[in-house]
Structure 1
Amino acid sequence: MSRRCSITGVGPTKGHHILRSGKAKKKGGIGTHVTANTPRIFTPNLREKRVFVPEINRYVSVKLSARALKTLTKNGPYQTLKAAGLI
């Protein structure tokens, strides 16, 4: 299964880990300089959850991000899952 949230659609994003060396000018140095730029992947905070939906009287298994879990709690499972097209 992919690393993608079922509700928000958030997935992994690419970025860089930037290494800097030197002392800042305001601390008496000659300034910081970038010495390495290593690619990395930022993965979403995903959870596999079984959510009970009282309107249809059954459980639904979904892969959620932490943000989507808060949305599910706020708006209710039926409305959120229906908007995402999972019901």
Structure 2
Amino acid sequence: MKVCEITGKVAVIGNNVSHSNRKTKRKFSPNLKTKRFWSEEEGRWITLKVSAAGMKTINKKGLAVALREAACPKKIY
């Protein structure tokens, strides 16, 4: 299943709408990429399947903080 390991984004269902306003079901997939990140704490590469928004989160907060928040998203840091 396509799930971002940082943000938790998944595919959602919607409609294709034609010019005549006929609707057929379609799936909107998240923009997932397999990317390696260097972990300073562990001293090794970590491979994650992340969305573009997840990459921006890692760049902003750092890998360790992003992984900690992804493990328990409701907690206030």
Consecutive unaligned residues of structure 2, counting only runs of 5 or more, are 72-77
Kindly name which structure, 1 or 2, has the bigger radius of gyration based on alpha carbons: 1
* CA deviation profile, 1:23-65 (whole Å, cap 9, x unmatched): xxxxxxxxxxx2x111100000000011101122111111000
Match of 1:14 in 2: 13
Q: Does 1:55 pair with 2:41?
A: yes
Match of 1:75 in 2: 61
Provide the aligned C-alpha RMSD in A. Answer: 1.0
Structure 1 runs of 4+ with >4 Å offset: none
Return the TM-score normalized by structure 2.
0.85
C-alpha distance in 2 between matches for 1:18 and 1:59: 43
C-alpha distance in 2 between matches for 1:53 and 1:78: 7
Aligned residues: 71
Name the % identity. Answer: 35
Consecutive unaligned residues of structure 1, counting only runs of 5 or more, are 22-33
Return the TM-score normalized by structure 1.
0.76
C-alpha distance in 2 between matches for 1:58 and 1:81: 15
